[in-house]
Structure 1
Amino acid sequence: MPRQRFSAVLRGYRGQAARDKFIQHLQGLGTQGDNIGTKGNRPPSIDLYIEPFALPLGTNTLVKVSALRPSWDLLKGGSEVSSRVKTVLSGSEVSIKLSRYSAARVVRRQTTGTTGTAKTSKLTGLKYLHYNTETASVPFGKKTGDLGAFAVFQEISTQNEGSSTNLKYTFIDENV
């Protein structure tokens, strides 16, 4: 079962006032604040083509997936990523879109600063720590001889780590 972000508030663990304010938000009676929708449009996506780890496909058949253009531009430079993802199909290759499939992904998080900034939630009125984090993620597939998705992720994260202590890589396994 997925984690619910405000489950402690709904159970009343954070106080009745916070619970009432959050319920008003759910009912459409509360205000969300001034900065809703101020970050601009979502960046464009790019179509990518991969060979999945867990699904044996026919020869020259790839699965069509996507990533946000800024994420792809940030992570495509590593050979471990670019050798497992195609941006253009060759003449003999075909792509398919699988409705319930999600590719294995590498997620790159870079935090600026070591401590959070205290902010107040506009939904509940409670204080929380906000961390300035930039996130990018791209899908990746297998190539001949790969051991598995996690082993490939380890190669990708090792290749891209660098010297920053505020840079972390996370693995999301493919879902078939």
Structure 2
Amino acid sequence: MQAARGASLTPSDHVTSPDRRRRARQVFVILVVTGLLIDQGSKVWALAALADSDRALLGDWLTLHLVFNPGAAFSLGTEYTVVLTCLAIVAVGVILFLSRRLGSIFWAWGLGLLLAGVGGNLIDRVFRDPSPMRGHVVDFLRLPNWPVFNFADVFINVAAAIIIVQSFRGIALDGSRDTAAAKAEEQS
């Protein structure tokens, strides 16, 4: 249904205010910069502090153990480092493209953490040994019965959870709400 001159009466069609968009973009940028600094700073520290031996932080539950991963999660695709690097470059481009539509703080968190994570591991792949585009990702956080990981991996997983929740809630990037999802949430 529409009001005069084409203005929508449906709440899902609202236009996000410029202040909300600006705030969402600020949160996005702050998360990306902070996440990249945490990820890269922790990797520099790990390279210096863990070169000779492991360190137990919480007994056997959390150990710092330095490894270099040429592959993806769980060390899959170790022979496809260049392909993984190219995919990460595409992912960064897609995230930056999508971030132009941000109007939701939660989506800003999701995309900001995702870009920080993908970007942190991409920096390793482009600039670390053995060569550009073939660099190995620095991993150093080890839990029992789990592959060694880094803060970028944590950011990617938290981002995935936020994105899934926002999608199930029917919240679009711009902060508008899918009317079907809103009705389902109201009925529950």
Q: Same fold by TM (over 0.5)?
A: no
Q: Which has the higher contact order (CA 8 A, sep 6+)?
A: 2
Determine which structure has the larger strand proportion and give its number: 1
Greater per-residue helix proportion: 2
TM-score when normalising by structure 2: 0.23
